[in-house]
Each structure stands twice: as structure tokens, then as C-alpha cells.
Amino acid sequence: MSPPDSKPTLAAVSAPLVSDIPAPPASRTSLGAKENEFFRAIQDYLDRAAKVINLEPYVRTILSQPKNELIVNFPVKMDSGEVRLFKGYRVQHNNLLGPFKGGIRFHPSVTLDDVKALASMMTWKSALLRLPFGGGKGGIKFDPRSVSKTELQRITRRFTHALGGNIGPDYDIPAPDMGTNAQTMAWMMDTYSNMVGSYQKQSVRGVVTGKPVASGGTLGRSKATGQGIVYCVIEWAEEHGFSLEGSTMIVQGFGNVGSNAAVILSKLGVSTIAVGDHSGYLINPEGFNAHKLQDYVEAHGSIAGYPGGKSITRDEFFATKADIFAPCALENQIGESEARALNVKLVVEGANGPTNPLGERIVLERGIDILPDVLANSGGVTVSYYEWVQNKRSESWTEEEVDERLEKAMKRAYREVSELARSKKCDLRIAAYALALQRLEAVYKERDIFP
């Protein structure tokens, strides 16, 4: 099976009209984030973990940069007839263990450096969860809420076409991330399958994961990242003799990850007492009905106007006393002031990179545990793997089967990370990186470097 032959080229597309791309939201820049701060932070973690396990220097060198970085500029006709040029990225960090794998993000703050950071984190997650995947990530710099549904479909399809043969079910497999969902994946799969020719059409469903179930997705994928977070929280609670029943939580970001984590934890007796998203922050000391709030956000696009809570500021949200904080929105949300304000026992990172290095140091010094992103939110890629396997075998697993496998995988990963952290006297993030690096190093040593 050969992939479609349209190859993206650097800034290869020209269009008669260029419209401005919205600026990043204020909350990101308010922490003083420099453009490449996120990628640099990931490289620092890589360096620290490499020291802990005496990683071969050449392995660190290879992993310090992505294998491929693609930028595509592509034109899309908007409903008004105007033609806008969009900038899309796909970064392929590493494919030693299997095809590149990672989400597609639609957000105005998408930058090449952030996508590089996110792609490399996917390499660590796949290795940590023992998945036969490498790491990749992509995105388009725009606000999906600012366009119509028909425009969104044309943007998604044209981006998929621009990526061309640089994605594929055995080469690079996108999935949903912030601003994208199962619908986005259905459009991507349909576009790709129309590019490969009719005799291959049925065999390329695995080009993306996180699809709607009727279009080849798996049961359990939409809640998988939230579910994985919950398995980690359960392990943490057992390890620390902490009772989840009757405990409280605050959640930043009530999209796919945050809302599913809140809904599943509510069944274990954890009450969500404050929430926030791009529209603002709400508090309800009695606890929100997570299910109802999830339905509300699905219908209205944000928590704004939800009747069951009182509006608070971002600062008040971060200072709310609770047991658990689940940041499930953007990177770089917990800086110095947020870290000092937090009044919780545990931060479980649903988002990728929500805690910046200074914030992390303060949080840990204050005795607050952090379940790091590469462990805590890896349930998504794990169930994506289950979807990919089902597509390859033309099978459909039950939700119970998916959940059971995910539970085993997440709890094993948690225990392995926790054990390494204890034996090497390092924090859980560095232990998670170290475990992933050990597995990658073992394969590099066996295979050596071509030629």
C-alpha cells in the first residue's frame, strides 16, 4: 500500500488574499511565556532524566530535536467568498518504536516550538506505556470557534490534503487534541481515504484515531484521557492512604479531558467545586453536577452562563481550597504566582505542560504532589492504540474490554514510575521521562545508527 503522493512543501501554497491570524489569548502571555519556553522546558526534563539513568549521550542528542518538522500554508475559501491562508504544522519527533503518533490542535496560540514540545512528549508517553508508537503532533494556528462548521470542515480537509503522504496508518497517525474532536477525525479520515484510491480506501481507516465509533472509532476513546487520569488518581490515593470519597477538586478546562475526568471522579465521590475555561471561572462550594455541566458545555461551547455556580476571578480559582487540582486546558498555566496560591494536595496534569518549571519547583517545595502529564494523560494515546489495533483486525471491542486494558496499562505505568522515583530519589516527572528513555535507549543500542 503506497501513501498518496502529494507532499507538502515549506510555505508552498500561495493565495490571493491573506487574513490575519488572531493573537494568543492573554492568559498565556500573562505568565511571561517566551515563544520557545515550552520546548526548552521539555529539553531540560530530558537532560535531567538522562543524568538519572546515565543515558548514552548519543541517544540524548538524537532525541533532543524532532526528526521532521513540516509547515504547510494552505488557502481555504470562507463562507463569505474571502480566501484565507492558514498555517498548519506537523512535527514528527521520533519513530523508533513505531509510527509517529499524536494529536492535532486547533488553537490561535499554536506555534512550531510548542508543537515540537508536544510531539516529543508523545514519544515519551508511547514508550512509557509500552505502545508500538513514536511521537508526533500537529496543529493549525486559528480559533475554531471563530469559523462556521462548513468552514471548519474545509479547513480540516484542506490541511489533511496538504499533509498528503506525510501521514498514514503505518507512518504517522493523528488524533484529537485541543480544539479538535471525533468529527474532525472523521473528516480527516474521509479526506485521506479519498486521496489513496478506491482499492485502498477501506484499509486506511487507521490513519487517524479518536474517530466516531460508527466510522471506525473505538468505544471508550472519547473519555479515555479522563479515564486514565482517574486510574492514576486512584493509585495515588491508595499509595497515600487518601480517601477519594468526600474529597474535592478544581478543574481548569472543561472540554474533553477535564469534563470526563470530573464526571468519572464524581462517581467515586469526588466533588468538583470550581471550574474554569476560556470564558471564565465558576465556583460552587456544594459541588457541580459534572454530568450536567458537561452537557451544558457541549450545547453552549463553554461554561459561561451555567446557572449552578458563582463567577470568580482566575486568581480566586487558583486559591480555592480543595484536595485535587486538575489543569486540563493549556500549557504554562501554573507559574510562580499560581503555584504559591494553590491550596491543594495533588496536581494531576490532564493538559500537556500546564506547570512551568518555576511553578513546578514551588509546588513540589510546598509538598504538593504532581502526577505529570506524560503519565497522567497518556490514557488517550493508549486507547488510540486499541482503536488502531481494532482497525487493523476489523474488530470491535466492548467498552468493558477497553476500560479493563486501560486500567491495567495505566496502573502498571503508575507503579513503575512511582518505584523508579523512589529508587532514584527523583520526582515523578523525571522518573516517567527516565523510564521512557531507558526503553528507547535499549532499542537504539540493539539497532545502532544507520548506516
Question: If binding is defined by CB under 6 A, does position 92 make contact with ligand NAD?
Answer: no
CA of residue 359 relative to chain centroid, distance: 20
User: Whose Cβ is closer to ligand NAD: residue 338's or residue 441's?
Assistant: 338
Find the binder of ligand NAD among 89, 254, 296, 385 (CB under 6 A): 254
CA torsion, ordered 154, 148, 255, 185, to nearest 10 deg: -20
Question: If binding is defined by CB under 6 A, does position 208 make contact with ligand NAD?
Answer: no
Cβ-closest position to ligand NAD: 255
Sole window of 158-166, 174-182, 401-409, 426-434 interacting with ligand NAD (rule: CB under 6 A): 174-182
Q: Angle at Cα 268 formed by Cα 263 and Cα 272, nearest 5°?
A: 50
Q: Is the dihedral of CA 78, 102, 300, 306 positive or negative?
A: negative
| CB 49 within 8 Å of CB 433 | yes
| CB 145 within 8 Å of CB 72 | no
Binding mask 410-439 toward ligand NAD (x if CB under 6 A, else -) reads ------------------------------
Burial (CB count within 10 angstroms: exposed 0-12, middle 13-18, buried 19+), residue 172:
buried
Burial (CB count within 10 angstroms: exposed 0-12, middle 13-18, buried 19+), residue 268:
middle
Among the listed residues 67, 87, 137, 141, the single catalytic one is 137
Burial (CB count within 10 angstroms: exposed 0-12, middle 13-18, buried 19+), residue 438:
middle
Question: If binding is defined by CB under 6 A, does position 104 make contact with ligand NAD?
Answer: no
Find the binder of ligand NAD among 55, 178, 348, 432 (CB under 6 A): 178
The whole-angstrom separation of Cα 253 and Cα 276 is 6
Sole window of 199-207, 317-325, 344-352, 415-423 interacting with ligand NAD (rule: CB under 6 A): 344-352
- Concerning whether 345 is annotated as a catalytic residue, the answer is no
Question: If binding is defined by CB under 6 A, does position 372 make contact with ligand NAD?
Answer: no
Question: If binding is defined by CB under 6 A, does position 359 make contact with ligand NAD?
Answer: no
| CB 277 within 8 Å of CB 329 | yes
Burial profile 45-80: b = 16 or more Cβ within 10 angstroms, e = fewer = bbeebbebbebeeebbeebeebbebbbbbbbbebee
Find the binder of ligand NAD among 257, 262, 293, 435 (CB under 6 A): 257
User: Whose Cβ is closer to ligand NAD: residue 240's or residue 292's?
Assistant: 292
Question: If binding is defined by CB under 6 A, does position 129 make contact with ligand NAD?
Answer: no
Q: Please give the helix or strand (H or E) that residue 437 lies within, else none.
A: helix 428-447
User: Whose Cβ is closer to ligand NAD: residue 124's or residue 161's?
Assistant: 124
For the CB of residue 71, give the shortest distance to ligand NAD in the complex, in Å: 20
Q: Is the dihedral of CA 306, 307, 308, 309 positive or negative?
A: positive
Binding mask 264-283 toward ligand NAD (x if CB under 6 A, else -) reads ------------xxx-----
For the CB of residue 160, give the shortest distance to ligand NAD in the complex, in Å: 18
Residues labelled as active-site residues: 137
Q: Residue numbers of the site for ligand NAD (CB under 6 A)?
A: 25, 27, 176-179, 225, 252-258, 276-278, 302, 328-330, 350-352, 377, 380
